Amino acid sequence: MTAATVAVLTAAVALAGCGFPDAVTGGKPRSPKEAIRVTPGDGAKDVRDTDRIAVRVPDGRLERVAVSRIEDDGSTPVPGRITPDGLSWRPSGTARLAPAARYTVDAVAMDGHGRRTARHTTFTTFVPPHRLVGFFTPEHGATVGTGMIVSLEFNRPVADRAAVERAVSVTARPATEVAAHWFGARRLDFRPRTRWRPGTRVSMDLRLRGVRAAPGVLGTQRKQIRFRIGRDQTSRVDAAAHTMTVWRGSRRLATLPVTAGSLTSPTYNGRMVILERHPVTRMDGDTVGFGGEYDIPDVPHALRLTTSGTFLHGNYWAPPRTFGGANTSHGCIGLRDTQGGGPDTPAGWFYERSLVGDVVEVVNSRDRVVAPDNGLGGWNMPWRRWRAGSALR
């Protein structure tokens, strides 16, 4: 609502409160409800998204009408216009009302006797029983590595992928081409052709409110997520040589001895992205299909690489000669560490220098290349194939 509109509304309310003698105003004044008729009615609930907002006067003319949709982060004006005869206001275009929202209507009108009336009404739209919600990564305000892929996991299957994809945009400053890719009906990822440039600022706009994702399923989110790309760090694990080389841009920081997956449980090949950082975590073989082969309650300096359970972590239980000499794990990559996680160990050194979004690439392992949807493995997919996964192409 503009300042001018507020001023007019305030003045009109003051006039209505003070009133005028009938002799001056020419008859008994109408109530605001009679003078300005608003649809949906004041206090209406569960208004359908197919209903339309209308403001009318029986005579005289409308002077001002301001309609707003109230959201968590403020209000959004609803565009519309007063008809040339001044008797009605209707919204512009054919946009539907948003679900699970509150609307306000403020109107000022002058009747045929020169009396000014102001009216304020509110109504709420229905809350759909099947709402679409997207859970996103990375977090708002995060600083992440150059390999970060923006990912949305939806709580319900999306039938109209094109409609949902149109409602999500990922932009960067400085500008770079970003493309979307669907992994099934519940996951939508975005990435550039190559890794982000350090210092890039990325925004994701979710405009899912009112989007029909499937029959009976409506979006309710309206959010903007911003994050920043930090320094460029990549690491290359050579499973055959039992080493990991860490790079900052083109400068090699270190080559560290590691132990990777054994012959029977090799580590995935390919590029993986650090998903989570845990100073300490529990690793239980039951949760990843290894039965009771291990259950370690205090694994230090743990960096998750895949959703299936691949970590790069500290290892205090293997003999020192294992690192750089043998592959003995169940698929993870181990760095020498102490129980409790010493800061001066290889694992502690690497953990302190790592960000969510950093790329770790594994080569010369006996396993297959990690699947593009296992964690943020989309860097293993050629750009042309990635772009082909958009619903808008």
Looking up residue 316, the CATH number of its domain turns out to be 2.40.440.10
**In this structure, what token pair is assigned to residue 207?**
């405009």
Closest CA to 187 of 219, 154, 145, 233: 154
196 and 246 share a domain?
no
- Report the CATH number that the domain containing residue 157 is assigned in CATH: 2.60.40.3710
Is 393 contained in some domain?
no
239 and 188 inside one domain: no
Q: Are 180 and 225 found together in one domain?
A: yes
Average pLDDT, the chain: 89
Same domain, 225 and 360: no
| CA 366/CA 192 separation, integer angstroms | 29
User: pLDDT category, 288, cuts 50, 70, 90?
Assistant: low
Domain C-terminal end among 212, 230, 248: 230
Identity of residue 349: W
pLDDT above 80 for 295: no
Q: Are residues 8 and 65 in the same domain?
A: yes
Residue 393: CB atoms within 10 Å: 10
Residues 257 and 207 in one domain: no
**Residue 313 annotated in active site:** yes
| 246, 368: one domain | yes
pLDDT of residue 149: 98
Angle among Cα 167, 93, 214 to the nearest 5 degrees reads 35
Residues 55 and 147 occupy one common structural domain: no
Are 141 and 213 a contacting pair, CB within 8 Å?
Answer: no
Question: What integer pLDDT is reported at residue 5 of this predicted model?
Answer: 43
Q: Is 332 part of the annotated catalytic residue set?
A: yes
Residue with tokens 């964690």, as numbered in its chain: 375
Do the bridges between strand 61-71 and strand 74-77 make them parallel or antiparallel, or are there none, so unpaired? antiparallel
Per-residue pLDDT band at 4 (split at 50, 70, 90): very low
DSSP 151: E
pLDDT digits (tens, 9 = 90+) for 207-236: 998 899 999 899 988 899 999 999 999 999
For 110-167, how does the pLDDT look when each residue is reduced to its tens digit (9 = 90+)? 988 888 999 999 999 988 888 999 999 999 999 999 999 999 999 999 999 999 999 9
Query: Rg (Cα) of the chain, in Å, rounded?
Result: 30
In this prediction, residue 7 carries a pLDDT of 41
pLDDT-derived band at 291 (thresholds 50, 70, 90) equals: low
Distance CA 77, CA 94 (A): 15
Say if CB 327 and CB 260 are below 8 A apart.
yes
Q: Is 386 inside a domain boundary?
A: no
User: Residue 80's closest CA among 69, 71, 70, 205?
Assistant: 69
Residue 363 falls within a domain, yes or no?
Answer: yes
The answer to the question of residue 180 being in a domain is yes
Residue 332 and residue 255 in one domain: yes
Residue 28's pLDDT is what? Answer: 62
Highest mean pLDDT among 20-24, 53-57, 67-71, 337-341: 53-57
328 CB-near residues (< 8 Å, 6+ apart): 259, 262, 318, 322, 334
Phi-psi region at 370: left, alpha or beta (left = phi > 0; alpha = psi -120 to 50): beta
Residue 11's pLDDT is what?
Answer: 40
Residue 387 lies in a domain: no
In a domain, 244, yes or no: yes
pTM over 0.85: no
**Is 390 within a domain?**
no
Which of 200, 230, 260 is the last residue in one of the domains? Answer: 230
Instruction: Supply the range of the domain harboring residue 252.
Output: 233-380
Looking at the fold, whether 265 and 362 belong to one and the same domain comes out as yes
User: Do residues 259 and 327 share a domain?
Assistant: yes
- Give the residue from 77, 93, 125 where a domain finishes: 125
Looking at the DSSP bridge assignments, the partners of residue 228 are 143, 201
Q: pLDDT value at position 30?
A: 72
Predicted confidence at residue 12, as pLDDT, reads 41
Q: How far apart are CA 237 and CA 360, in angstroms?
A: 7
Weakest mean pLDDT among 41-45, 284-288, 292-296: 284-288
pLDDT in tens, 39-91: 999 999 999 988 999 999 999 999 999 999 886 656 789 999 999 999 999 99
- Average pLDDT over every residue of 352-372: 97
For residue 142, what are the contacts with CB-CB under 8 A and spacing of at least 6?
Answer: 227, 228, 356
Cβ contact 102:178 at 8 Å: no
Largest CA distance in the chain: 104
Confidence at residue 280, expressed as pLDDT on a 0 to 100 scale: 92
pLDDT-derived band of residue 23, with 50, 70 and 90 as boundaries? very low
Q: Is the pLDDT of residue 293 over 90?
A: no
> What residue type is 197 in one-letter code?
R
What confidence tier does 13 reach under pLDDT thresholds 50, 70, 90? very low
Asked if residue 370 has pLDDT above 50, the reply is yes
pLDDT at 3 over 70: no
Partners of 169 in beta bridges: 205
Strands 74-77, 80-82: pairing is: unpaired
As for how many domains the chain has, the answer is 3
Task: State whether 268 and 223 are in the same domain.
Answer: no
